Structure 1
Amino acid sequence: MKFPKKYLKLLLSTLLRPPTSVARTFLCVRLIHLFMQQHLIKVLFLATLVICLLFGQVVSAQTQNASVLVEQGIKDYDAGNFYNAVKHWQEALNQYKNNPSGAAVVNENLARAYQQLGENKEAIESLSAAIHDYRAVEDIQQVGRMQSELAQVYSNLGQPRKAIALLCGKLVESKISENQASQEIKCTPESAEQIATKHNDKRGKIAALGILGEAYRLIGNYHQAIQYLHATQQVSPEYDFLVLNSLGNAYRSRAQLHELQANSAKQAGIVSKEKEFTNKSAADYNQAREYFQNSIKLAYNQKQPLAEMRGLLNLIQLGSQTNETKVISDETFNNAHEDALKILKDLPDSATKVYGAIDLAYLQRHSQRTSPFTYCPTQMVSSENEALNLLKSSILTSNKLQDNRLQSYANGALGHFWECRQDSKQALKYTQTAIIAADKNLSAKDSLYLWEWQAGRILDQENRKEEAIASYQRAFETLEDIRQDILTAERDVQFDFRDVVRPLYRTLARSRLDLLEVGAIADKQRAKELSKVVNTIDALKLAELQNYFGNDCILSGLNPKQIGELLQDNSVTFKNTGFLSSIILDGKTGILLQLPNQTTKFKWIKDSNQEGTSKIVSSDRLQKKIAEFRSGLVKGEEEVNYDTTTAAQLYDWIIRPFAEDIKPETVKTLVFIQDGFLRSVPMAALYDNQEKKYLVETYAVATTPSLRLTTPKVHDRSTQKALILALTQKATIDGKVFDALFSVPEEVGAVKSLFSNYTDLIDDNFVPESFKQKLEKTTYPIVHIASHAQFGIIPEDTFIVTGKNQKLTISQLENSLRNLNNKLDSVEVLALTACETAVGDDRATLGLAGVALQVGVKSAIASLWSVTDASTAELVKTFYTNYRNAGMSIAEALQKAQIRMINAKKLPPSEGINIKYDNPVYWAPMIAIGNWL
């Protein structure tokens, strides 16, 4: 059975589709359904069915009856009546129970109908059944093709790793470098790529390689993606206009990553790396432009208007994103815009026509935002009337196609147009139509949350606050359902998170809190509303962690219960523990206090004056004060006596409002769950000016990204094995020099004196490979790392400096410890004692907050900045001594060690502690993360 040439064009045009701005928005990053060309598919689908049915069919009464049903399904499909097509084909399938050859064909095409209806689960089941049936009749070539098609569905659903498993059987996890891009591709024998190779199925191989390239792009492995796409070109240049378009997308994605890396290098002060990544980014953007332009030219010459349109849209979006650097000249941009408008008029009714019209309506010459629907775009290229006509035409086209998903996008886009013009009546009308279309069979949750969110904003404009909150809540719940897919689908999501995910969580939390503030909610409902605020804030923190690391490993241990349930269930375990969660909203910051079996308390951070009145502290003012506080601590070594003024003011803002609720007689430990810039603050150093005490002198202090990610449990500490990793020498990583750590030998000696059962790797012996080998042989409950650890604004810049000028990345650390998670003697404490974070970017502190969770350990003890002094050895020794005391929690062990340093001037000389260690610069940066018990 031949693989129809026309059908291949259809398949390739979907698998190598461009991520237009609109498509990118509606599941954060290209998680929408296939851009199926409705007009062409009617003809091509018929050709596929007829050709398939001519082979291997036994003529019988049953077969003839089934054929009638199949033909009727074709007519329904041709008319766009997909539900009826499915109905007839399901009946035909029942008659093909004993005919796997016929069943395979019907299942294959049922899958395509299901995809049109947005019913991906059913599409996957049908394709899996088709694979089974084709294998039964030993049509292995067709098995490979169906695996490719199934892989495409998984890729569209944000599961590119499943796609890669079907297509190649092997996943290249690590990011290969540009100079490795020519390495040989080796897939397993049962994979789609190898089946196509074995059967000399050129078109099947093109499909497999093309989808592989797209899948690797979706997981952020751009070099591997580019390698596969170039391999696709080598098989056959026949579909080069499609492959070139996909190559343009891959190079654009890599250019964006290089931009992030340049920014990270700038934050770290590495000028040479900043310049290197800036140049790489520019080169990739230019390469993307060339590929898009060549794709457009080839599509034009081959009379492929849909492909030409997609190439033009990609070129235009590239020009908008890079307007400052002028990757595309104004003349080229304007010409491409005009060409796109001309082609749009003559395009057949299709998804591309709908999305293209919306993209062109919202096009801006310069835009750093990734979603036009979460803010009101300014300086749009189209006039207001032209934009309105484009949006109306997109609705007409979607109605002709009778496609719920397209109708949802088109109506939602027009609703946003009227929202931005503050015409609430028109805005709500179209937005509600979009919600209804998206809600049919819940097949478009990716757009449903956007339109519920939009409806909430419109209702807010009309001062219908409670209705707005209900809409925000529905948007939030829908987003929670699909969050894991959209935040781990591809690495590019980090570019979209700030625009299309984070604002919704903050808007919902702010709206609930605003209603509580004006007393619009009855007292008996306040606790319930605050509980919902807590859940929203917690969901945001989880989403940020997941987004930062770009995978779902960080949430592998997520407790399904909400915070309130956890507090109730663990009321005995959490006895004497208070939880303070912060939330930074527009213009103000709030603090929530939760205590076991007590009502949640909430307060905005306010500043009181001498007259006894108070006003809310602006978020900008708080952030400046936080920066001042941290800067004062880091520079504290230069001061003989630390000035506690700023620390006292922050204590009055954050802690004192809850003084009556957290009396030290009943609350012994405070666990902070911080937001944004507050993550970089060592709360232990806040100063109570009334009691003349630091916060840590009254409470044990710990931090966790989320209570739902923490496993509070006391473990046996009587027998402990320790793996000690240390670097004393000067090192250079990526052009950045890390100073020698002269006090590390003393720190290592202190740890060895407490853990006689230890293994150490020092200097040149401490390299990633030796670390991995040690862990393969033995599990160590204590892993102590005395070396520089850098936490950058992207995970690629988060690493531990090892010997021989090498680095242990967060991914390598995770891979080394991943297999230990289920062992009873798994790692309990990971200590990092010389950390550095990218100050000024709150993403960097996500790396620090999430490191213990990412590598699967229970607790981490880490420093917020590097203190290259013997004080670290002093603090570490006291901490571990306290830790070995089974009656003391991890937070208390750290607390007692810090208090000892605070009291340095009061201790007898026999203690041998330097009196200058009372300065918080020496003890404040060390924090406990995760399990504090």
Structure 2
Amino acid sequence: MGQNQKAIALLCGTINYDNHQDNPCVPESALQLAYSHQDQLGVAAALGSLGDAYRLRGKYDLAINYLEESLTIAQEIDHLPYQSSALNSLGNAYSSKAQLSYRRANSAEKIGYTRKALALEAKAKNNDSEALKYFQKSLDIAITQNDQSGQIRARLNEIPLYYRLSESSASVMKWQKEWQKAYSLLETLPDSQDKVYAAIELANLLQPIAPAHETSPWIRCYQPKLEPQATALLAQAVRIAQRINDHRSQSFALGELGHIYECRDQYTKALELSQQARLAAEQNLLAKDSLYLWEWQTARIFKEQGKVTEAIGAYENAIATLETIRSDILTASRDVQFDFLDTVNPIYRQLVALRLEGDQTFLKSALPDVRTQNINIVLKTIDGLKLAELQDYFGNDCVLAAVNPARVDLVSTRTAVISTIILKDRTAVILSLPNGEKQLEWIDSDRESIRQDINQFRRELESFFEPYNSQQAQKIYNWLIRPFANQLEQAQIETLVFINDGILRTVPMAALHDGEKFLVERYAIATTPTLTLTEPKPLTPRSWRALVLGLTKEAIVDGREFEALSNVSTEVKAVTQTIPESKQLLDEEFTRDRLQQELGATVYPIIHIATHGEFGTEPEDTFLVTGENDQLTIDELDRVIRSVASTTEPVELISLTACRTATGDDRAALGLAGVAVQAGARSALASLWFINDQTTAQIAAQFYQGLRQSNLNKAQALRAAQIALLEAGGQYARPAYWAPYLVIGNWF
């Protein structure tokens, strides 16, 4: 469990993420005990600590509520140190909110949502402005108290905001002035851990200005003219850390100093400092969150020196360390999570690239068994990355424990798995056959070219009116399927399971085309984020009971309008007729409370939800619209399901038939890919884009009929429903109507 989770449990007695809950803490908690003893100082301290802990969990609004309470009490009792601390924490909370909005704005801009991007950026700047006010108030108190440590803390917190809010040369000058003041304050501090980290932070602030949506300093190099000053600060940090015998801060100082030499291409010195940083981190169990960084740095240096074997070993050490601290660094702090794309994702991908590309002579001359073993290691590495990606997205480590670490046995199922791995300049495509045979092929296009091709494919595919052109569908088919066509035929494969990477998750594989037929006409198709999260169990007779929820009326949620779904009543009727043992909750009856009540009263192996659903870049943008004009996030749905499923069988299938993910938003598609796991279900039926048409009812009804009456598995049942629509001809033969539906997770 992350340290902030433990803090919440101690202070509050329970972890509460429910903004609807008025009194989240249990009577015996530290906070409630302070209240009962009328210990105002204790209450202020507990509220402040609780606010900080919730900020680190990414629950910024909850954090702000607690911190504002703490500040109010500190003001009432005129306790200036607590006021300064609460103000500083409020600044951090608003700064973290801003960082999230900048990231969401960047993602919206990348997929063409310009208006949304501008609104999010404006929101981010407002939050940054609020943060700056709080930091300045904290600084004022620190100055009146002659608190040098508080002053440098406030100034260091302010400086990145001047970066992000800068619109003129005056703002840049303000940043430089604040940096110089913080630097002068550094010399007034006694040797301490705080002084070490302040020196490191001052050095980091000399790095080139990063885009507002990024936070990680680990991959940026210093400008040559500022490098000597950064080197001096880091060397000073090392000396202080050594004098006070603080291994954790010493590890960071040594590691970052090593990075400077890495940037200079002075690899011998860089390696020496990186190894010293590793040794320092190993002296302190709490320093493991830095250990993986220096193992990664060591791997990069070995790679640049041409020492492939040593580099692979160092990368594997970094990943092994990550695996041991995953619950802390990927779920403990949303601020840390912002660094995921910069400091976790590359470690896995660089190792995979090295194994697949690093020693071509070895790979070409190796025996087939050796090549297969190497590919199996690569697939295992990527499985680890997929788990880490989902944990980063949903922020929930416990839910995403692998249910099948050995991966699914495909021998008796006539199922092949196609895995894609997007690297910098090309993409690996790996076929896994039932007999264990593996085949590796390459897409010789860089990441951006692939993105453009897939976005064009999605735009053309989603058109309900323009003549359909299969050219892009054939191009992607040639990437992913054609190289394996003979092997698939010889193995008599009937089902293809895709474990796709990045932007490839947004591709509806059913619509790929070989020049004669769509892929769905030849194979049943499923997708899963990783086989280690797939529990391959077929539906049983006991599974035929469904809770069917739907929204037919227009809704307004947070000022945003959602159109009426005129065909949902038809869909709900079709599902309940196919599964007579069903209960329906329509419109006003579809509420969070009624959902929990029904699931608590009756076991429903199938949950069918026909309402607006969106999958966005962040979990905050991923939700379903309920009948009470409210958002039900996937995280909340998971908590509802798991709160009543502890003594029952898990949900077999959750169907979300009116979902949409934006074209080009591969992170949103990651959320869709992980929906079954996060919602506490073995599998999901979901859509990549929204269709307000009677065809959704037809697809749903025929899907369930295929499962129940024709004894098909889920992938086969969806294929039958899609082909029925395709063969009906007319407008419904367009892929726009039948292609977006996916079986995710357990396809049996």
Bin of the TM-score, shorter chain as denominator length:
over 0.9
SS at structure 1 position matched to 2:85 = helix
Among 150, 165, 168, the alignment partner of 2:9 is 165
| Counterparts of 1:207 and 1:503, CA distance in 2 | 39
SS at structure 2 position matched to 1:725 = strand
- Contact 1:300/1:308 (CA < 8 Å) preserved in 2? yes
Q: Within the alignment, does 1:732 sit opposite 2:577 as a pair?
A: no
Equivalent residue letter for 2:356: L
Among 515, 536, 540, the alignment partner of 2:381 is 536
Equivalent residue letter for 1:306: S
- Contact 1:718/1:884 (CA < 8 Å) preserved in 2? no
1:675/1:226 CA distance change after superposition, 3 Å: same
Among 185, 210, 213, the alignment partner of 2:51 is 213
SS at structure 2 position matched to 1:713 = coil
1:631/1:479 CA distance change after superposition, 3 Å: same
TM-aligned CA deviation for residue 500 of structure 1: 1.5
SS at structure 2 position matched to 1:670 = strand
Matches within 5 A, 1:178-327: 187-233=25-71, 234-235=73-74, 236=77, 237-239=79-81, 240-260=83-103, 277-320=120-163, 322-324=164-166
Equivalent residue letter for 1:779: V
Counterpart in 2 of 1:376? 220
SS at structure 2 position matched to 1:829 = strand
| Counterparts of 2:577 and 2:284, CA distance in 1 | 64
Among 455, 462, 465, the alignment partner of 1:634 is 462
- 1:353-403 CA deviation, whole Å, 9 max, x = no partner? 2222222223146223755553133548x7222122112211211221222
TM-aligned CA deviation for residue 571 of structure 1: 4.6
- Contact 1:779/1:826 (CA < 8 Å) preserved in 2? no
Among 684, 689, 692, the alignment partner of 2:510 is 684
- Contact 1:319/1:328 (CA < 8 Å) preserved in 2? no
Equivalent residue letter for 1:174: D
1:188/1:863 CA distance change after superposition, 3 Å: closer
SS at structure 1 position matched to 2:416 = strand
| Counterparts of 1:327 and 1:892, CA distance in 2 | 62
| Counterparts of 1:488 and 1:327, CA distance in 2 | 38
Counterpart in 2 of 1:895? 719
| Counterparts of 1:651 and 1:445, CA distance in 2 | 44
Matches within 5 A, 1:820-839: 820-824=644-648, 826-839=650-663
Q: Within the alignment, does 1:623 sit opposite 2:451 as a pair?
A: yes
SS at structure 1 position matched to 2:692 = coil
| Counterparts of 1:599 and 1:704, CA distance in 2 | 20
Counterpart in 2 of 1:582? 420
- Contact 1:270/1:735 (CA < 8 Å) preserved in 2? no
| Counterparts of 1:814 and 1:351, CA distance in 2 | 40
TM-aligned CA deviation for residue 703 of structure 1: 0.4
- Contact 1:319/1:365 (CA < 8 Å) preserved in 2? no
| Counterparts of 2:359 and 2:566, CA distance in 1 | 55
Q: Within the alignment, does 1:362 sit opposite 2:204 as a pair?
A: yes
Counterpart in 1 of 2:469? 643
| Counterparts of 1:687 and 1:221, CA distance in 2 | 45
SS at structure 1 position matched to 2:273 = helix
What is the identity percentage for the equivalent residue pairs of Structure 1 and Structure 2?
A: 44
Matches within 5 A, 1:596-675: 596-605=434-443, 616-635=444-463, 637-639=464-466, 642-663=468-489, 666-675=492-501
Counterpart in 2 of 1:104? none
Counterpart in 1 of 2:407? 566
SS at structure 2 position matched to 1:836 = strand
**Higher mean C-alpha displacement, 665-674 vs 298-307:** 298-307
- Contact 2:349/2:423 (CA < 8 Å) preserved in 1? yes
5+ long unaligned stretches in structure 2: none
Structure with the greater alpha carbon radius of gyration: 1
TM-aligned CA deviation for residue 201 of structure 1: 4.4
TM-aligned CA deviation for residue 212 of structure 1: 1.2
- Contact 1:590/1:604 (CA < 8 Å) preserved in 2? yes
Counterpart in 2 of 1:926? 741
- Contact 1:324/1:366 (CA < 8 Å) preserved in 2? no
- Contact 2:16/2:24 (CA < 8 Å) preserved in 1? no
Q: TM-score, normalised by structure 1?
A: 0.75
TM-aligned CA deviation for residue 426 of structure 1: 1.4
SS at structure 1 position matched to 2:489 = coil
1:543/1:747 CA distance change after superposition, 3 Å: same
- Contact 1:373/1:416 (CA < 8 Å) preserved in 2? no
| Counterparts of 2:472 and 2:92, CA distance in 1 | 49
Counterpart in 2 of 1:847? 671
TM-aligned CA deviation for residue 195 of structure 1: 3.1
Q: TM-score, normalised by structure 2?
A: 0.92
- 1:794-825 CA deviation, whole Å, 9 max, x = no partner? 22222222335333332332232113434555
1:865/1:660 CA distance change after superposition, 3 Å: same
5+ long unaligned stretches in structure 1: 1-156, 177-182, 606-615, 906-914
1:501/1:863 CA distance change after superposition, 3 Å: same
TM-aligned CA deviation for residue 489 of structure 1: 0.7
Matches within 5 A, 1:704-853: 704-717=528-541, 720-824=544-648, 826-853=650-677
Equivalent residue letter for 1:748: V
**Higher mean C-alpha displacement, 222-231 vs 619-628:** 222-231
Among 702, 706, 721, the alignment partner of 2:526 is 702
SS at structure 1 position matched to 2:330 = helix
1:238/1:426 CA distance change after superposition, 3 Å: same
Counterpart in 2 of 1:411? 254
Among 278, 281, 284, the alignment partner of 1:435 is 278
- Contact 2:216/2:343 (CA < 8 Å) preserved in 1? no
| Counterparts of 2:317 and 2:544, CA distance in 1 | 49
- Contact 1:210/1:228 (CA < 8 Å) preserved in 2? yes
TM-aligned CA deviation for residue 336 of structure 1: 1.4
Matches within 5 A, 1:474-493: 474-493=317-336
TM-aligned CA deviation for residue 553 of structure 1: 4.7
Counterpart in 2 of 1:500? 343
Equivalent residue letter for 1:833: T
1:528/1:323 CA distance change after superposition, 3 Å: farther
1:330/1:476 CA distance change after superposition, 3 Å: same
1:365/1:286 CA distance change after superposition, 3 Å: farther
- Contact 1:673/1:706 (CA < 8 Å) preserved in 2? yes
Matches within 5 A, 1:388-407: 388-407=231-250
Q: Report how many aligned residue pairs link the two structures.
A: 739
- 1:500-531 CA deviation, whole Å, 9 max, x = no partner? 21111111111111125343584353333222
CA RMSD of aligned residues (A): 2.7
